[in-house]
């Protein structure tokens, strides 16, 4: 997945879920991560670079450990909202 595609999907999920921190499901090979986006994808200093990282926190009343997922390792259909998973 490209950085720009990731941003576009996250914007759609934000609009649909009505929050800046949508609940998402990421499938990247054997890795499946479910949780809330902590902040926008980061790590992309060069606009031409496809690389960046999603920071996903586990859902719950108290913050759990965060998962870092490299955007370039997510397939095109690997990012969705929990409501559509």
Q: How far is CA 53 from CA 13, 18, 66, 84, in A?
A: 17, 23, 12, 22
What's the half-sphere exposure (Cβ side, CA atoms, 13 Å) at 26? 26
The pLDDT value given to residue 48? 67
Q: Is the pLDDT of residue 79 over 90?
A: yes
Band (85; pLDDT cuts 50, 70, 90) = very low
Spatial CA neighbour of 19 closest among 85, 66, 81: 81
Q: Is the pLDDT of residue 80 over 90?
A: yes
Q: What's residue 18's pLDDT? A: 94
- What digits encode the pLDDT tens for the residues 17-67? 999 999 999 998 898 999 999 876 665 566 666 678 889 998 888 877 889
Q: What is the DSSP string of 20-53?
A: SS-EEEEEETTEEEEEEEEEEEE---STT----E
- Looking at domain 3-83, its CATH class is mainly beta
Q: Is the pTM of this model over 0.85?
A: no
């Amino acid at each position: 997945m490209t950085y720009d595609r990731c941003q576009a999907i996250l914007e759609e999920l934000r609009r649909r879920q009505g929050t800046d921190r949508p609940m998402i499901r990421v499938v990247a090979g054997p890795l499946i991560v479910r949780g809330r986006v902590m902040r926008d994808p980061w790590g992309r200093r060069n606009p031409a670079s496809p690389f960046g990282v999603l920071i996903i926190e586990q859902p719950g009343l108290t913050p759990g450990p965060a998962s870092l997922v490299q955007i370039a390792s997510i397939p095109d259909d690997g990012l969705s909202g929990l409501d559509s998973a």
